[in-house]
Chains A and B, each alone.
Chain A
Amino acid sequence: MAGDNQVTATAERPQSTIFKRPSSTKGLWGWITTVDHKKIGIMYGYAAFFFFIVGGIEALLIRVQLAQADGEFLTAGAYNAMFTMHATTMVFLFIMPASAAFMNYLLPLMIGARDVAFPRLNALSWWIFFFGGIFLYSTFIFGTSLPPISPDGITGNLAPGGGPGGFGFLADSPDGGWFGYQPNAGPLYSPGTAMDYWALGLQIIGLASLVSSVNFIVTVFNMRTLGMRLLRMPVFVWMSTVVAFLLLFSLPIIAVALFMVTFDRQFGTLFFAPVGGGDPILWQHLFWLFGHPEVYILILPAMGIVSEVIPVFSRKPLFGYSAVVFAGAAIAFLGFGVWAHHMFASGITPVAQAAFGLATMTIAIPTGIKIFNWMGTLWGGRLRLTTPMLFAVGFLAMFTIGGLSGVTHAIVPSDWQQTDTYYVVAHFHYVLFGGAVFGLFAGLYYWFPKLTGRVMSERLGKTHFWLQFLGFNLTFAPMHWLGLQGMVRRTWQYAPGNGFESWNLVVTVGAFIIALSILVFMYNWYRSRRRGDASGLDPWDARTVEWMIPNPTPEYNFVNPPVVEKLDHWWHLKYTEDEEGRAVRRPEADQMIAELEHSELNPESPIHLPAPSYFPFIMALGLPIVFYGVIYHTTVWGKALIAIGAVVTLASLIGWGIEPLEEPMPSAHDDEAEPEDEGDADEDEEGADG
């Protein structure tokens, strides 16, 4: 990707681009061409929520199938497709982008910055993700799933779409599990193109995360406002940074593994094909070497959110701030050394099992530190049980249950019993739904005023919480005992008479209660955007600097970026201590808030912002086109697609290169041409190839 060297070649010549520079920040084109971290965050958020609904519908289909013994609601093929797409969607298309939404929106605000380090690159990440999601889901239209071509005489007992049950058309989509184990997901046992859509779709989505991880790391290290030392940053910023490093070091590994699968499937290499001497266990190592850090990629942002919410509603500083920060880093570090605990049943040596079992147990230490610190924050606090706080406390309780059942997997003989049973399903839903999703909802309710200038309805919010809490536990608690009784995962039907029927019915009812709670949330969101109570600048009496600016957040974030003197800077501006150490509100606090409401909305001089650009959108379009071509590369039009995609990428790269980051906008605030940091760093996408 060389064009970037021309980045600055003509930077001195504005309006030299192929297209006329987009000039409006309104309407559809305003969204497509925006480089504003807040708008990008909002788009991430809505896309993630859309996929949450899609993944949720897939889960409900699974639950209807399993509601009774010998269910025939779905065909076996459709069932395999649904559990594969449910997990793939929830991991890569819901929780990761939902976390990215929070990071995008909040990171610059929390460190007092105008935007991220590379605004256009940020837009590029988002659009790559967006097209990657569409690419992956286009498998339902274009993908095919065929019966195995078995060299050893084992033939598929069912055509993927055939057999008893309904919704056979859903079977033409990836059906090898979200972990894509080989050789099951390889060319022999999963012919058809569905698994190609899976492998290449994840490749695209991974690239989006890689680009944004570089962006966030540079933002956090370089864009902090004065006085915002590393150990004064909010814990959410810290956890986002840790996640960015996890992404940075784990994504290249899955990229290599997915390239190997793609080469096996498309170009006849023999990496994972046992018939040719390939080693399927290698896939498991590579996948979980990414996959376990991925678990922390999913949970750490939620931990960061909870670490913001709990102190605010306990009206106390976070207990053991630096311990929480370092525990987060320690979890990430240890997270790279425990992957084989996903493989205890795969025949790895006893020494490896012992080592990985022990390493896994050590993860409980930093996690325990965090849990005790959150409890220490609650202890003796003046608690306000608002909706965000309820979700945060719900997170704390549910995540602890999930964490404890996780420790039982570290004990190897016990793990052998639990492998591939519903006990494992219960465990990871307690950490990912009870943990990550509860944490994300806490964040949504907490920061909703920043988006809209309104607060969400507490009555509906609490209804949502209690319904979700009830539904969640009805759904996932019985899975523990179902698993211990021996009910296996990823299996289409179970036979009657094993004592599974009644709990499965409870689980299915619970799943529909969760769905109901989400409907309540959607109604609340819809209603509160229009008719919620006005929030003012600081609705929660918060602690961190993103609450020092009016709601909704002005386009330019801060007029006067704060000069940070302490951890919880905003709180210390409002409160002082009496002799007994109790917080006492400073008399001038309200006056200060009123002044901020005024001054932060009325900049004295115009504020220059990065100008919108078409190129991130167009460039992101190139990669899926190339990958469609790769899937059909044996045909002429497949080759044509590769060429078209390459041309689109290259052309937009050159356009991007010669387009300056900022240029005079015909809109409200502009006049001085400021030589601001060029911020493009297009070089970063060289990773695209790699």
Chain B
Amino acid sequence: MADLAHDTADHHPPHESTGIDNRKLGMWVFLSSEFLFFGALITNYLLYSNRAGYDGIYPAAIYDIPFTSVSSFVLLMSSLTMVLAHNALSRGDQNGTRTWLFATAALGAVFLGGQVFEFTEFIVEYGMTMQTNPAASAFYLLTGFHGVHVAIGVIMLLSLWGISRRQGELSEKHGMNLELVGLYWHFVDIIWIVIFTVVYLLSYPPT
């Protein structure tokens, strides 16, 4: 992607020894830290999810796999629309960019709605709260923090969309912002693939 043009007037130190835009490199570096954050949360869930002898219901007993599969599919499709937004911008198609940005945010919002529904069902119908047992605590902490990340992503996408609507286009600088949001958004999706596989799909015998 074309980075920002830089004025390297002679009294200016040269920028970007690696050739990667500062902000993009910063986002990559930051995301590498986020992997450890979710790594710790997932490990925590794996440790508690199947310990025998807890009071109350275990999360693994009440997963609604068909429902979560659909919401996972929605989130994965939002990565596709994110790529389409990026692609549209690089082709100079401002209308397309705006449309796909909104679609990405909307799909993210649908996923979040699914999570709210899931949590409500678990709490109201099955009585599984954060305080029920450590497995439930770990489940809510992990999926809750993922949900917070998705929500932040949706807000960022909507901001970009709003800027694009107001100004009629996304300038070159915003192209970089779109890339940054895109990186973040794909990260959130990738983490969800891991969570959906490891937490929802795989089952663990009680220990």
**Known A558-B13, A686-B184: A8·B177 in contact at CB below 8 Å:** yes
Query: Which residues of chain B are near A514, meaning CB under 8 Å?
Result: none
Q: Is the pair A256, B30 in contact by a Cβ cutoff of 8 Å?
A: no
Cβ contact of A605, chosen from B11, B16, B171, cutoff 8 A? B11
**Known A251-B33, A279-B47: A675·B141 in contact at CB below 8 Å:** no
Q: Is the pair A221, B163 in contact by a Cβ cutoff of 8 Å?
A: no
Q: Is the pair A215, B26 in contact by a Cβ cutoff of 8 Å?
A: yes
Query: Which residues of chain A are near B51, meaning CB under 8 Å?
Result: 277
Q: How far is the CA of A357 from the CA of B167 in the complex (A)?
A: 62
Cβ contact of B137, chosen from A210, A223, A263, A681, cutoff 8 A? A263
Smallest Cβ-Cβ distance to A674: which chain B residue = B7
Q: Is the pair B133, A677 in contact by a Cβ cutoff of 8 Å?
A: no
The winner among A114, A263, A269 for most chain B CB atoms within 10 A is: A269
In the complex, B37 has a CB within 8 A of chain A: yes
In the complex, A226 has a CB within 8 A of chain B: yes
Interface residues of A in 1-51 (CB under 8 A from B): 1-9, 11
Q: Is the pair B137, A270 in contact by a Cβ cutoff of 8 Å?
A: yes
Q: How far is the CA of A594 from the CA of B19 in the complex (A)?
A: 35
Q: Is the pair B167, A9 in contact by a Cβ cutoff of 8 Å?
A: yes
Q: How far is the CA of A218 from the CA of B149 in the complex (A)?
A: 23
Query: Which residues of chain A are near B13, meaning CB under 8 Å?
Result: 112-114, 223, 225, 558, 561
In the complex, B207 has a CB within 8 A of chain A: no
Q: Taking chain A's interface residues, is the majority helix, strand, or loop, or is none over half, making it mixed?
A: loop
Q: Is the pair A225, B159 in contact by a Cβ cutoff of 8 Å?
A: no
Query: Which residues of chain A are near B54, meaning CB under 8 Å?
Result: 276-277
Query: Which residues of chain A are near B27, meaning CB under 8 Å?
Result: 681, 683-684
Q: Name the distance in Å between B150's Cβ and chain A's nearest Cβ.
A: 11
Q: Is the pair B158, A2 in contact by a Cβ cutoff of 8 Å?
A: yes
Q: Is the pair B156, A5 in contact by a Cβ cutoff of 8 Å?
A: yes
Q: Is the pair A217, B29 in contact by a Cβ cutoff of 8 Å?
A: yes
Encoded as 1 (CB less than 8 Å from any A CB) or 0, chain B from 163 to 202 comes to 1001100010110010011001000000000000000000
Smallest Cβ-Cβ distance to B156: which chain A residue = A2
In the complex, B128 has a CB within 8 A of chain A: no
Q: Is the pair A271, B134 in contact by a Cβ cutoff of 8 Å?
A: yes
Count the A-B residue pairs with Cβ separation under 8 angstroms: how many? 211
Q: Is the pair B26, A681 in contact by a Cβ cutoff of 8 Å?
A: yes
In the complex, A509 has a CB within 8 A of chain B: no
Q: Is the pair A222, B22 in contact by a Cβ cutoff of 8 Å?
A: yes
In the complex, A523 has a CB within 8 A of chain B: no
Q: Is the pair B40, A277 in contact by a Cβ cutoff of 8 Å?
A: no
Q: Is the pair A277, B133 in contact by a Cβ cutoff of 8 Å?
A: yes
Q: Name the distance in Å between B4's Cβ and chain A's nearest Cβ.
A: 6
Q: Is the pair B174, A8 in contact by a Cβ cutoff of 8 Å?
A: yes
Query: Which residues of chain B are near A250, meaning CB under 8 Å?
Result: 36
Query: Which residues of chain A are near B64, meaning CB under 8 Å?
Result: none
Cβ contact of B152, chosen from A1, A225, A279, A559, cutoff 8 A? A1
Interface contacts beyond A9-B163, A113-B13, A277-B51: sample of 14 additional A-B pairs, CB < 8 Å, sorted by A? A8-B173, A9-B166, A117-B26, A213-B33, A253-B37, A253-B40, A259-B141, A270-B137, A276-B54, A674-B12, A675-B6, A676-B7, A683-B180, A690-B149
A-B contact pairs, 12 of them (CB 8 A): A7-B173, A222-B22, A248-B29, A269-B140, A277-B51, A282-B44, A286-B44, A603-B11, A678-B4, A679-B22, A681-B180, A690-B149
B residues with CB within 8 A of A? 4-7, 9-18, 20-23, 25-27, 29-30, 32-34, 36-37, 39-41, 44, 47-48, 51, 53-55, 130-131, 133-134, 137-138, 140-141, 145, 148-149, 152, 155-156, 158-160, 163, 166-167, 171, 173-174, 177, 180-181, 184
A residues with CB within 8 A of B? 1-9, 11, 112-114, 117-118, 210, 213-215, 217-218, 221-226, 228, 248-253, 255-257, 259-260, 263, 267-271, 276-279, 282, 286, 558-561, 603-605, 607, 672, 674-681, 683-684, 686-687, 689-690
